[in-house]
Amino acid sequence: MSGYPSNTESIAADQLLSIVERIERLQEEIDDLNVGKADIYREARGNGFDVKVLRKVIAIRRQDHAERMEQEAILDLYLTALGSHVRARGDDE
């Protein structure tokens, strides 16, 4: 009934604004970094590199960095799923 915003409302509004602005700030930084990536790729092309291949190389390395080891772990699980959990591994991540 009040013509003035309640405390809870204004607090919520403050929080909302804070959330939105923080997200937008992060997104802005992300956009900048993506521009940086684009610049590097442009420069690379200027130096005669095949950008498509570069992207592929980076994608493969990205995979290798977090998934190859994972695929080994999956192999474990696979074998386990088949009933033979005989693998002894000492190393982890």
Among 22, 25, 55, 68, binds DNA (CB under 7 A): 55
Residue 20 near residue 13 (C-beta atoms within 8 A): no
Determine the Cα angle at 84 with ends 80 and 90, to 5°. 70
Closest approach, Cβ 21 to its own copies, in A, equals 10
Closest approach, Cβ 59 to DNA, in A, equals 5
Is there binding between residue 64 and its own copies (CB under 8 A)?
no
Contacts with 86 (C-beta within 8 Å, 6 or more apart), sequence order: 79
Among 11, 13, 16, 38, binds DNA (CB under 7 A): 38
